[in-house]
Structure formats: C-alpha cells, structure tokens
Chains A and B, each alone.
Chain A
Amino acid sequence: MFTHIMVPVDLTHTDKIARALETAGLLGKTTGAKITYVGVTAETPTGLAHNPQEYAAKLAEFAATQGTAYGVTADARAIASHDPTVDLNDTLLKTADALQADCIVMASHIPNITDHLWPSHGGTVAKRAHASVFVVR
C-alpha cells in the first residue's frame, strides 16, 4: 500500500507524539514501508543539542530505536531551519516531496480557537501535502 512513510517528530515532546509513533510503526510493519523520521531544529543551540550536527546524531539514534522496536527499516533526516516556529510546515512539505514519501503520519492537537489564527501543523500539512496524511489526535 505504502512504500515510504514520513514521520515528523519533535524530539523535545516525544511523550506527546507516542500514539503517532505507534501508528507509524505498525503501519510500516504491516505494509513493509520504509519509515523516515524527520526533525526540524533551529541553527542556534537548543535544549537538546549544541548545534544541528548534535541534533542530527540524536535523531538518527531515535530512528534506529524506533526501527528496532517495530521491526521496520528506519532512517532519519534532520533539517536546520532559520526560523523553525514559522518555517516548519513548508520545511516538512518540501521534505516529503524530496523523500518521495507516499504517506505522512503526524501528531496534532485537538483543534481550538487559535487554529483560526495559526492552523495546526498537522492540519496544514494534511491540507497541502501531495501524499496521504494520517493525523493522529
């Protein structure tokens, strides 16, 4: 059904995306698709890493753990962004195209009033991506 699943991850809030990770893992295992975990980081130091390279290493480690846990082929792609708060959606959409992912699995919050001002990342990606999008709430 799917050959390449892209899973955007926020390494600082892995607890909040647990259900999405599980969904992606099971979907990957069932369909035999490869999973690429995508993380977007700032170029400035963050709580997770001193620089984008350190972040990339952590993401790769995270992807390997997920791959082993669900028995799937897992890869990681870390992207450094000038202004992650604003650029996140565009970056994810471009990455999905670059990876030629045919499915995106991502977590999103339950919509509230602020979504009228700043739509959620999950909602925006679902609206604009070329691939199938599985939004997990």
Chain B
Amino acid sequence: MNDQPEDVNTGVPEPEGASDIIETDYTIGQDNIEGAVGPFGFDIHNPVFAISGISVVAFVFYTLALPEQAGGAFSWLFGAVTKGFDWFFLGAANIFVLFCLFLIVSPLGKVRLGGKEASPDYTYIGWFAMLFAAGMGIGLMFYGVSEPMSHFSSSMGGTSVENGVRTDWAPLGAAAGNEQEAIRLGMAATIFHWGLHPWAIYAIVALALALFSYNKGLPLTIRSAFYPLLGERIWGWPGHLIDILAVFATLFGLATSLGFGATQANAGLNELFGIPIGATTEVLLISGITALALISVVRGLDGGVKILSEINMGLAALLLVFVLLVGPTVAILSLFGDSLMAYLEYLPALSNPVGRDDVNFMQGWTAFYWAWWISWSPFVGMFIARVSRGRTVREFVICVLLIPSMVCVLWMAVFGGTAIQQVVLDGYTAAQEAPLELKLFKMLDVLPLASITSFIGILLVIVFFVTSSDSGSLVIDTITAGGKVDAPVGQRVFWCVFEGAVAIVLLLSAGGLSSLQSMVISTGLPFTVVLLIMCWAIYRGLKSEPR
C-alpha cells in the first residue's frame, strides 16, 4: 500500500525536478522551544503551543463557571453569524466550487505537488480512505438517513407564511403534496449540502497548504498560505493568530463532536443491547475512543491512521452494498440517477446567495452547514495536505472534489432513499419519527440481519470517531510545533488526551457542548475570509510553478 520499502531500496531520492522555492530568512523550528519536562522531551512553537493550550482551558472554565451567560453569548454569536452573513457564506462557497472547477480545466492543473517529478506517497485507495474518513465519515452515519428524510417531509408539507416571512423549513418553493417532486427536491438539497461545496472548501485549504509546503518550502502550518499577502510578517503575530485560531477550531470541533458522538453511540448501544443511557456510559465511550486514538497516533500515520481509515472504508462499503442489495435495489438505483439530475437542476437556485424567500432553509441549513464545513477545514485540509504529496493539482482536485461528491450522492441515495421508500411504499414511519441519533438504526431494523447491521453501524460510528481524533491530534501537534512533523511522540499523546478530557468536561456540564459548538461554528466566519485569501494565494503560487 505505501511505498516505504521502495524508498529504502532507492537510497538517495532522485532529484524531483524544480519547484519555485520561496527564499526566506526564517528557519523552521527557530521559534521552537526544545527541552524536557522530567523525562519527557518536547519541541513546541513559542507562543502558539502555550496560548492555544491556555485559551482552550480558559474557555472551558468560562463555559463551566458561567454556563448561562456563555450559552447565551455563544448562541447569540452563532445566530448573528448564520443570519447576518448567510449571503457571504453562500457566495463564498460558490466561489470555492468555481475556482476548483477552473483549476481542473486550466493549465495550472498540471503543476505537481512536491515538484515536477514527485511521485505519490499513497495509493489511490489508501489516500482516498484517509481523506474521506477525516472529511465527513461520521456525518454520513448520522445524516445519511435523517437529512433526505427531513427535506422530504418539509417539502411535502409545503410553504407557510406569517407576516410576509416564510415559517416553514422547506427548501426553495417546496413541493406541497407532490410526493415524487418532494423526493427529488429533498435529495437535491441533501446532496447540495454534502457534495461539491463542502469538498471544494476542503480542497482549497488542502491545496493551499500542500502547495506552500511541498513546492514553496514553507512549514506545514496554516500561516504559510498567507506568505503572498503578508510576506515575512507571517512569522510574527499575524501568523501566530492564524495558527492559534486553527488549533482552537480543530480542538473544540473535535471535542464537541466527540461529546455528541458519544451521546449518539450510547443511544445506538441502548437500542441494540439495552446499555443504559447516561453520563457514565458516555464518559466510558469517550475514554475508550480516546484510548484507541492514542494507540493509533502512537503507531503513526502509516501504522495507525491509514490502517484504521481503510478498515473504516471497507466496513462502510460493506454496509452500503448490503443496504443496496436487501433494500429496494431498483428503486435506489433509479433514485441515484434521478437525484443527480435533480441536484444539477436545482443547484443554481439552491446556491443563490441573495433574494431568497426560504430563509429558514437557507440560514438554518445551508449557512449552518457552510460555517460548519469551513470551521472544520483547517483540520481536514491540513490532514489532506499531509497525505497528498506527489499528486498533480488536476488529479488532486478531481479526487478531492468530484469523487467524494459522487460517493456522497450514492450514500444518500442508498440510506436516505431506502428510508424514504419505507415511508412511501410500506407506510413504515419509525425512521421518520425517531430522534436523529436513532434514525439509521430504525431504518436498518426492518431490513434482514438488523442486529448485525446495527452493530456494524455502531462500530463505524466509533471507528470514524477514532480516525477523526487521531488525525486531529496529528494536525494540532504539527501546528503547535511550528510545522515540524517529527516532534516527540509525547506531544501528540498530550493533544489526544487533552481533546478527550475537554470532551468529558464539556459533556458533564449542562449545555457546555452545544454552546461551544455554536462558538466553533462561529469561527467559520473569519475562516471564510481566510479561504478567500487562500484562493488568491493558490492562483499566485501556481502561476510561478514550473508545469
């Protein structure tokens, strides 16, 4: 799978062709502090490591000490961001998609990450498994059934208007009473949220980091993409702030997801085995997930993260094929084609940033999703960058944008389609009525071998969390070590444990998780600006590369 043994046999790597190295006086690691706490060595960036760690602790204390005030403040912030800047999120996301499509067709797509003759580090399968597991694996488990179902139901319900404002949650003009059209609109809206736009967001961040690191020779941290704009100033406070914000979004994003994931896995275990729902089970789940993630980070990128991602992809594919075969196969396959056509048909209207009357859908669903993907992008993008050396820009964009989008369409058609067919054809509404965390299990309930498939479902949820947690720890460790990927192992262990501890503390406090999640999503706003600057930086950077 990996080409390590070949590396060993070829000895000194052949020159890999010219790339346009940025000459700077900054030496990677010059701001780092190396030392030891007792017998444990460390190699950390000053001040990014300390400020990130301290501010995370301070925020956790704030939400614990003043839960109501913090909850109020964060949900106000979240509402202000998604309602006031909905047009900005939607417009920016469209720019990201168009820019990625431009890169595929433009001659700039010929540039290779890592120099003209660089060869890819990972096979397509290993690479794809890793970027998919980090990118959205866990979300697909929970929204695969629930989101198509929600949009289908709200579209069927039609529109309702009070004081001239739409109060329903249906996308666009809804499809009152028209079952076939409601299915098409529901699928189109779901694919819109999981297809090209989120992957374009990830692709921009990943491409910017990979380009400025592998081709320009700058450290693998978020600040490097700002070199064309800020020049040598990125080594000072502007750069520190960008990196700290990235650590912050990554750590809280992971901790809140870990907390919610534990709640959801607990619900599944309760449904399947009658394991009680409660703080004890959830704390045990987080501890277990963190322990597995620890083993994985200590085993490293090839021995841990990659293997887990491949196991995950195999299991997910198994579940997908199973549901496809035992579910309404022909209906699902025709839904796949229909959904794709419906997506293309509704795409211009769904992505329109201004003059919309479906405000609830646009702000509560789309703007929320865009902010969410963008707040995750430093983590996922940096991880994708780390494993993408040796690909051409064109190959990179096709594989990060188009293929995952198609997989999402298939996933949504299989899981959402099966659940919708259960409602439409059989009148089975358990999945439609179940709470979010149980929808998948209720859908699987009426298919054969339900206890086995539900168990695989829970296993997938847990392993997807482990892969998010371990890859997240690697990313935070690299950023807080100033772009060094060879810092002592103890550091990644520290971040992995820290993340689990933050998740447990927030889980045990009332409302801690949801208020911090609002805050994390609010970081999507400044990062949208960061991403727009990255588009420009990528264009500038690619133009000066030999092709």
**Contact, CB under 8 Å: B27 / A43:** no
**Contact, CB under 8 Å: A85 / B489:** yes
- How far in angstroms is the closest Cβ of chain B from A7? 15
- How far in angstroms is the closest Cβ of chain A from B383? 12
CB contact under 8 A between A87 and B40, given known A43-B389, A80-B7: no
Q: Could you tell me the distance between the alpha carbons of A60 and B488 in the complex, rounded to whole angstroms?
A: 26
The stretch of B56-64, B213-221, B261-269, B351-359 in contact with A is B213-221
In the complex, which residues of chain B have a beta carbon less than 8 angstroms from the beta carbon of A87?
4, 300, 302-303
Q: Is B233's CB within 8 Å of the partner chain A?
A: no
- How far in angstroms is the closest Cβ of chain A from B424? 48
**Chain B residue with the shortest CB-CB distance to A36:** B11
In the complex, which residues of chain A have a beta carbon less than 8 angstroms from the beta carbon of B7?
79-81
The stretch of A18-26, A51-59, A123-131 in contact with B is A51-59
Q: Could you tell me the distance between the alpha carbons of A69 and B38 in the complex, rounded to whole angstroms?
A: 37
Q: Could you tell me the distance between the alpha carbons of A50 and B389 in the complex, rounded to whole angstroms?
A: 14
Q: Is A86's CB within 8 Å of the partner chain B?
A: yes
**Contact, CB under 8 Å: B9 / A98:** yes
In the complex, which residues of chain A have a beta carbon less than 8 angstroms from the beta carbon of B4?
81-82, 87, 91, 94
**Contact, CB under 8 Å: A56 / B13:** yes
Q: Is A76's CB within 8 Å of the partner chain B?
A: yes
**Contact, CB under 8 Å: A78 / B386:** no
Q: Is A77's CB within 8 Å of the partner chain B?
A: yes
The stretch of B66-74, B284-292, B317-325, B478-486 in contact with A is B478-486
What sequence of 0s and 1s flags, for each residue 260-299 of chain B, a beta carbon within 8 Å of any chain A beta carbon? 0000000000000000000000000000000000000011
Interface residue tally of chain B, by bracket?
35 or more
Q: Could you tell me the distance between the alpha carbons of A51 and B28 in the complex, rounded to whole angstroms?
A: 12
**Contact, CB under 8 Å: A85 / B12:** no
In the complex, which residues of chain A have a beta carbon less than 8 angstroms from the beta carbon of B253?
none
A44 touches which of B2, B38, B219, B492 (Cβ 8 Å): B219
Q: Is B16's CB within 8 Å of the partner chain A?
A: yes
In the complex, which residues of chain B have a beta carbon less than 8 angstroms from the beta carbon of A82?
2, 4, 121, 300-302, 387
B487 touches which of A51, A81, A85 (Cβ 8 Å): A85
**Contact, CB under 8 Å: B114 / A51:** yes
In the complex, which residues of chain A have a beta carbon less than 8 angstroms from the beta carbon of B214?
43-45, 51
- How far in angstroms is the closest Cβ of chain A from B96? 24
Q: Could you tell me the distance between the alpha carbons of A78 and B9 in the complex, rounded to whole angstroms?
A: 11
Q: Is B19's CB within 8 Å of the partner chain A?
A: yes
In the complex, which residues of chain B have a beta carbon less than 8 angstroms from the beta carbon of A83?
300-302, 485
Q: Is B416's CB within 8 Å of the partner chain A?
A: no
Q: Could you tell me the distance between the alpha carbons of A52 and B119 in the complex, rounded to whole angstroms?
A: 12
**Which of B8, B386, B485: most chain A Cβ within 10 A?**
B8
Q: Is A95's CB within 8 Å of the partner chain B?
A: yes
In the complex, which residues of chain B have a beta carbon less than 8 angstroms from the beta carbon of A98?
8-9
**Contact, CB under 8 Å: A51 / B486:** no
Interface residue tally of chain A, by bracket?
20 to 34
**Contact, CB under 8 Å: A50 / B21:** yes
**Which of A46, A82, A84, A91: most chain B Cβ within 10 A?**
A82
- How far in angstroms is the closest Cβ of chain A from B239? 15
Q: Is B236's CB within 8 Å of the partner chain A?
A: no
In the complex, which residues of chain B have a beta carbon less than 8 angstroms from the beta carbon of A95?
8
In the complex, which residues of chain B have a beta carbon less than 8 angstroms from the beta carbon of A52?
13, 16
**Contact, CB under 8 Å: B489 / A44:** no
Q: Could you tell me the distance between the alpha carbons of A95 and B483 in the complex, rounded to whole angstroms?
A: 27
In the complex, which residues of chain B have a beta carbon less than 8 angstroms from the beta carbon of A53?
13, 15-16, 115
In the complex, which residues of chain A have a beta carbon less than 8 angstroms from the beta carbon of B41?
114
**Which of A42, A85, A86, A94: most chain B Cβ within 10 A?**
A85
In the complex, which residues of chain A have a beta carbon less than 8 angstroms from the beta carbon of B121?
43, 82
CB contact under 8 A between A46 and B389, given known A51-B217, A77-B11: no
* A105-121 residues at the B interface, CB under 8 angstroms: 112-114, 118
CB contact under 8 A between A51 and B16, given known A44-B219, A82-B4, A114-B39: yes
In the complex, which residues of chain B have a beta carbon less than 8 angstroms from the beta carbon of A44?
213-214, 219-220, 386, 483, 485
**Contact, CB under 8 Å: B299 / A86:** yes
Q: Could you tell me the distance between the alpha carbons of A114 and B41 in the complex, rounded to whole angstroms?
A: 9
- How far in angstroms is the closest Cβ of chain A from B294? 11
Q: Could you tell me the distance between the alpha carbons of A80 and B298 in the complex, rounded to whole angstroms?
A: 19
Q: Is B5's CB within 8 Å of the partner chain A?
A: yes
In the complex, which residues of chain B have a beta carbon less than 8 angstroms from the beta carbon of A76?
12
In the complex, which residues of chain A have a beta carbon less than 8 angstroms from the beta carbon of B490?
114, 118
**Contact, CB under 8 Å: B485 / A84:** yes
Q: Could you tell me the distance between the alpha carbons of A56 and B213 in the complex, rounded to whole angstroms?
A: 18
**Chain B residue with the shortest CB-CB distance to A95:** B8
Q: Is B29's CB within 8 Å of the partner chain A?
A: yes
Q: Could you tell me the distance between the alpha carbons of A26 and B431 in the complex, rounded to whole angstroms?
A: 75
Q: Is B334's CB within 8 Å of the partner chain A?
A: no
In the complex, which residues of chain A have a beta carbon less than 8 angstroms from the beta carbon of B19?
51
**Contact, CB under 8 Å: B300 / A45:** no
* A21-80 residues at the B interface, CB under 8 angstroms: 42-47, 50-53, 56, 59-60, 76-80
Q: Could you tell me the distance between the alpha carbons of A82 and B114 in the complex, rounded to whole angstroms?
A: 13
* B6-57 residues at the A interface, CB under 8 angstroms: 7-9, 11-13, 15-16, 19, 21, 27-30, 38-41
Interface residues of A (CB under 8 A from B): 42-47, 50-53, 56, 59-60, 76-87, 91, 94-95, 98, 112-114, 118
A-B contact sample (6 more), CB < 8 A, given A79-B7, A81-B7, A84-B486: A43-B121, A52-B16, A53-B13, A86-B301, A91-B8, A114-B39
Selected A-B contacts with CB under 8 Å, 7 pairs: A45-B214, A45-B219, A86-B300, A91-B8, A94-B8, A112-B39, A114-B40
Query: Sorted from nearest, which 8 A-B pairs have the closest CB atoms?
Result: A86-B300, A50-B217, A83-B301, A47-B29, A83-B300, A47-B28, A114-B39, A84-B486
